[in-house]
């Protein structure tokens, strides 16, 4: 605000510089959507390590191809991931319920999330409460109880809640568990305050049955304990829950899911993701190898990725067991021909620790996403995530061994090949989008070019919000040129563009040529940004010739 001079002297006025720093967004946050052993359903959860995944979603699971893909992501250098767990209820006759139930004498609970993991839960109630606390809550001491819940699975958590009540208060059991517990919820609905049960100090049914059996064996080891054993079996059976069945496309893109932010659209719950992996969900073959993803889901996921400025990593079809099948498969289509998607072939062969380290086939998308994250960190998003540095860690074999000539037939079709080379090992040996077929001649033929463009778009989109409602004239335009130009120049200095000077590498235009008077009248300011991308050297050609020695005459 200008200073108003009122007396003779020196006045100090701070003048804004007009600099508004544009910060580049993250480039390798990877979203995974699929089945998991445990965890919240239709909720996008950010994790930062595979230990986070194990803690929240249960680790490796034979029913979850996503669990192996996430493992490969972190093994190969991934950093941050977004996990969306989906669950398809088993509706067959006699199928167990979705959630485990447990009862600690009057306190009826159920597992917080669907799945058989809830059978490991144990609960205990005690009445060691304070009269003073009860009075402060407007209750009596008889209205309060403490609840301890344990997850007895390896590495499981223990939760303890003090001064809970069935009566309406700040410590009402259903509200406290819903807000704070990651293990259980109160199973009932809030009852009539005139007929509230009072819990006794006791444990859940399974714990009591186990204790009764152990006490009976200790008192008389040689006696018949079939009654106690039957009671324990019945108690465990009552806690039994289902892990669900194979997912279907409707679990990803059901009616109103977009509005409800469920399935694929649960990613609306997070601010940003850059890569999307959809591990196979259509069951496994007779050898335990994962099958595929519906083409129509790939098409819908690709459209969603375009809207979110992200890349979709597509796994090659399970039927692509050799080069010829891969050629015919890509010719018939994989669900999308898009600059925002890329496909990788063949699949990986890795030991499965849940099957005695038997070699099995796994999809490559998680490992490739990890390599992209690693490359972004080491070199930048403009470097192709392929080459001798793009090694597939934890991958001893590939399901198909390709030769140079076979690779040469697939590469021009936009299929990125995974190769095995002596000494180097298994590596990514292709970096094209699904618009990368030679006959398409697309400007976004290469993955690094497309990812760099998406990075610039997202960064500028977020970094120019300050422009909205500013006076639309030359002072604003000059500020825009200054700030966007500084961002682009920083990328140039990091080696993101072609050219030896900024003029050769990029340009930023925002003036009366880009924004006409008609635009101004409509409240529009046009910013034109151009850049000269670096394109990967796919083909290195060495020209060798002999030189003749000097002839003496």
User: For position 312, which CATH number holds?
Assistant: 3.40.50.11780
Task: Dump strand ranges (E) for 48-100.
Answer: 81-85
Residue 258 pLDDT level (bands cut at 50, 70, 90): very high
Residues 12, 56 within the same domain? no
Residues 412 and 525 in one domain: no
Domain-located, residue 95? no
Which pLDDT score, from 0 to 100, does residue 189 have? 66
Residue 193 has pLDDT above 60, yes or no: no
The top-scoring range by mean pLDDT among 3-17, 206-220, 273-287, 333-347 is 333-347
- In this structure, are 270 and 395 located in the same domain? yes
In the listed set 200, 215, 238, which residue is the last one of a domain according to the structure? Answer: 238
Cα(217)–Cα(211) distance, integer angstroms = 10
pLDDT tier at 2, thresholds 50, 70, 90:
confident
* Domain residue limits at 528: 1-22+471-553
pLDDT in tens, 515-533: 999 999 999 999 999 999 9
Name the pLDDT band for 194 (thresholds 50, 70, 90).
low
Q: Which one of 206, 238, 270 terminates a domain? A: 238
DSSP code, position 281: -
Task: State both tokens at 466.
Answer: 């300050």
Mean pLDDT of 481-500: 96
221 in a structural domain: yes
Is residue 527 in a domain?
A: yes
Q: Pick the range with the lowest mean pLDDT from 11-15, 255-259, 422-426.
A: 11-15
Using the predicted structure, report yes or no on whether residue 499 has a pLDDT greater than 80. Answer: yes
**pLDDT at res. 196:** 66
Has residue 278 got a pLDDT over 70?
yes
How many domains are there within the chain? 3
Position 515 scores a pLDDT of 96
Residue 218: inside a domain: yes
Q: Are residues 419 and 510 in the same domain?
A: no
Max mean pLDDT among 122-126, 196-200, 368-372 falls in 368-372
Report the alpha-carbon distance of residue 282 to residue 88 in Å, rounded. Answer: 12
Task: Kindly report the length of the chain.
Answer: 553
Residue of 281, 43, 232 whose CA lies nearest to 119 = 232
- pLDDT score recorded for residue 17: 82
The angle that helices 65-75 and 50-57 make with each other, rounded to 10 degrees, is 160
pLDDT band at 468 (very low <50, low <70, confident <90, very high): very high
d(CA 114, CA 98): 5
Q: Report whether pLDDT(360) > 90.
A: yes
Domain boundary among the residues 419, 449, 479 is at 449
Count of beta carbons in the 10 Å neighbourhood of residue 133:
14
For 292, residues 6+ apart whose C-beta sits below 8 A from its C-beta are: 280, 282, 315, 317, 318
For residue range 397-413, list pLDDT tens digits in order: 999 999 999 999 999 99
Pair (254, 188) in one structural domain = no
Q: What are phi and psi of 497, to 5 degrees?
A: -125, 165
| Assigned domain for 463 exists | no
> Do 321 and 421 lie in a common domain?
yes
What residues form DSSP beta bridges with 103? 108
Residues 18, 34 within the same domain: no
How far is it, in rounded angstroms, from Cα 502 to Cα 184? 59
Give 308 or 229, the one with higher predicted confidence.
Answer: 308
Q: Which pLDDT does position 551 carry in this prediction?
A: 65
Give domain status of residue 10, yes or no.
Answer: yes
Mean pLDDT of 342-363: 95
Indicate the average pLDDT of the chain. Answer: 92
Distances (CA, A) of 388 to 220, 314, 315, 420: 68, 22, 21, 10
Q: Is 374 in the same domain as 479? A: no
Coil vs helix vs strand at 327: helix
Tell me, yes or no, whether 466 lies in a domain. no
**Band of residue 14 on the pLDDT scale cut at 50, 70, 90:** confident
User: Are residues 110 and 164 both part of a single domain?
Assistant: yes
Residue 266 resides in a domain? yes
Instruction: State how far the Cα of 146 lies from the Cα of 191, in Å rounded to an integer.
Output: 19
344 and 360 belong to one structural domain: yes
Q: CA-CA distance, 429 to 199, in Å (whole number)? A: 64
* 118 shares a domain with 79: no
**Shared-domain flag, residues 232 and 267:** no
State yes or no: pLDDT of 465 exceeds 60. yes
Tokens 């015919």 identify what position? 328
Whole-number percent of the chain with pLDDT over 70: 97
Does pLDDT of 197 surpass 80?
Answer: no
């Amino acid at each position: 605000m200008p200073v108003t001079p009122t007396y003779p002297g020196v006045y100090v006025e701070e003048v804004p510089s007009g600099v508004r720093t544009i910060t580049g967004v993250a480039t390798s946050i990877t979203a995974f959507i699929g089945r998991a052993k445990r965890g919240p359903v239709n909720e996008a959860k950010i994790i930062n390590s595979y230990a986070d995944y194990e803690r929240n979603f249960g680790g490796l699971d034979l029913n979850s191809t996503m669990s192996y893909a996430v493992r490969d992501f972190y093994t190969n250098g991934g950093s941050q991931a977004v996990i969306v767990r989906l669950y398809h209820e088993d509706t067959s006759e006699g199928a167990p319920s979705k959630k485990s139930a447990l009862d600690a004498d009057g306190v009826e609970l159920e597992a917080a999330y669907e799945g058989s993991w809830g059978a490991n839960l144990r609960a205990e109630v005690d009445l060691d409460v304070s009269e003073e606390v009860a009075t402060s809550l407007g209750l009596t001491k008889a209205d309060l109880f403490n609840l301890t819940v344990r997850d007895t699975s390896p590495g499981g958590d223990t939760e303890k809640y003090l001064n809970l009540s069935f009566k309406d208060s700040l410590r009402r059991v259903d509200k406290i568990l819903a807000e704070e517990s990651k293990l259980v919820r109160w199973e009932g609905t809030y009852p009539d305050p005139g007929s509230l049960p009072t819990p006794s100090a006791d444990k859940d049914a399974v714990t009591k049955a186990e204790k009764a059996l152990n006490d009976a064996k200790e008192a008389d080891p040689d006696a018949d304990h079939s009654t106690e054993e039957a009671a324990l079996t019945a108690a465990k059976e009552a806690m039994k829950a289902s892990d669900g069945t194979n997912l279907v496309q409707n679990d990803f893109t059901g009616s109103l899911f977009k509005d409800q932010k469920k399935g694929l659209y649960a990613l609306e719950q997070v601010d940003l993701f850059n890569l999307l992996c959809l591990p196979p969900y259509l069951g496994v073959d007779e050898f335990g190898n994962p099958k595929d993803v519906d083409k129509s889901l790939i098409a819908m996921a690709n459209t969603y990725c375009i809207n979110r400025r992200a890349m979709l990593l597509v796994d090659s079809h399970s039927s692509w067991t050799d080069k010829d099948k891969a050629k015919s498969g890509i010719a018939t289509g994989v669900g999308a021909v898009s600059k925002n998607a890329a496909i990788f072939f063949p699949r990986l062969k890795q030991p499965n620790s849940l099957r005695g380290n038997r070699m099995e086939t796994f999809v490559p998308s998680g490992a490739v996403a990890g390599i992209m994250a690693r490359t972004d960190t080491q070199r930048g998003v403009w470097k192709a995530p392929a080459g001798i540095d793009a090694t597939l860690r934890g991958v001893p074999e590939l399901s198909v061994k390709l030769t140079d000539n076979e690779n040469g037939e697939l590469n021009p079709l936009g299929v990125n090949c995974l190769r095995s080379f002596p000494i180097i090992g298994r590596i990514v040996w292709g970096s094209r989008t699904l618009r990368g077929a030679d006959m398409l001649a697309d400007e976004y033929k290469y993955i690094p070019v497309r990812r760099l463009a998406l990075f610039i778009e997202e960064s500028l989109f977020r970094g120019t919000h300050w422009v909205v409602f500013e006076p639309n004239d030359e002072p604003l335009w000059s500020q825009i040129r200054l700030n966007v130009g500084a961002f682009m120049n920083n990328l140039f200095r990091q080696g993101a563009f072609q050219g030896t000077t900024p003029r050769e590498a990029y340009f930023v235009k925002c003036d009366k040529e880009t924004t006409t008077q008609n635009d101004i009248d409509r409240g529009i300011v046009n910013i034109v940004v151009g850049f000269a991308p670096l394109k990967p050297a796919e083909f290195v050609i060495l020209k060798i010739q002999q030189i003749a020695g000097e002839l003496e005459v």
